[in-house]
Structure 1
Amino acid sequence: MTEQPSTLYAKLLGETAPISWQELQPFFARGALLWVSATMDLVEVALAVAQNDQAQVAAWLAAEQVSKVEERRAEDLLARDPKLWAVVVAPWVLIQERAEGPSLH
């Protein structure tokens, strides 16, 4: 991509949205889901994928901070139905479990 990183980051941030596991199942079936660890910035990972930063993405894959969604995780997500965030960087859909904020009760 030819966009400046900060502009592309803002664009990806704007395209990040909550989504349910049920909505993601067709992408799982195609092998197009990437799981992003809760310790990572989902949009930063999407930016590296969009910019084809192979070294950075490979490092995250090796550290298991980013991974393809495997059947075991898919079964867990189906059973729990947690709140997820997703952003599309074709051909991938990057997903991350949403952190629960502090309780207001």
Structure 2
Amino acid sequence: MSAPNSEPSTLYTKLLGETAAISWQELQPFFARGAVLRVEGTQDLVAVAEALACDDKDKVTRWLTSGDLRKLGELDAEDYLARDPQLWAVVVAPWVLVQERLAAPALH
């Protein structure tokens, strides 16, 4: 039995290269159009983008059901406006996927 392929797909690599930091101020016009999906910090932002781009209904449905992927709501917008967190985004038209960067653990 051969080991599973651990190399990222070409699409994954392409999407990874297209990810970028974004401020809430830059994201607001996309939010106003209802085009922002929030990816929980426990998920791989690029893997979620890849699944959306490939129309992987099983994965996307599982994330939508669990809440790991959802449309950014008003409460999220108010929270982002108040806190101005570090956000990471990638576009899978017509969506902008956004994920809050989790703070690195403090070193002791």
Regarding TM over 0.5, the answer is yes
Q: 1:92 aligns with which of 79, 89, 95?
A: 95
Q: 1:57 aligns with which of 56, 60, 71?
A: 60
SS across alignment from 1:45: helix
**d(CA) in 1 for partners of 2:106, 2:16:** 25
| Structure 1 residue ranges, 4+ long, deviating more than 3 angstroms after superposition | 102-105
Q: Report what 2:36 is aligned to.
A: 33
- Structure 1 unpaired stretches of 5+: none
* RMSD, matched Cα: 1.4
Q: Does 1:76 align with 2:79?
A: yes
Report the alpha carbon displacement of residue 103 of structure 1 after superposing the two structures with TM.
Answer: 4.6
- Which amino acid in 2 is paired with 1:87? V
Q: Does 1:12 align with 2:18?
A: no
Normalising to structure 2: TM-score of the pair? 0.89
Report the alpha carbon displacement of residue 17 of structure 1 after superposing the two structures with TM.
Answer: 0.6
- Which amino acid in 2 is paired with 1:89? V
Provide the aligned length of Structure 1 versus Structure 2.
101
Report the alpha carbon displacement of residue 11 of structure 1 after superposing the two structures with TM.
Answer: 0.2
Q: Does 1:21 align with 2:35?
A: no
SS across alignment from 2:51: helix
**d(CA) in 2 for partners of 1:29, 1:9:** 28
**d(CA) in 2 for partners of 1:93, 1:25:** 11
**d(CA) in 1 for partners of 2:17, 2:105:** 24
Report the alpha carbon displacement of residue 104 of structure 1 after superposing the two structures with TM.
Answer: 6.9
Report the alpha carbon displacement of residue 101 of structure 1 after superposing the two structures with TM.
Answer: 2.2
* Residue identity (%): 66
**d(CA) in 2 for partners of 1:39, 1:100:** 12
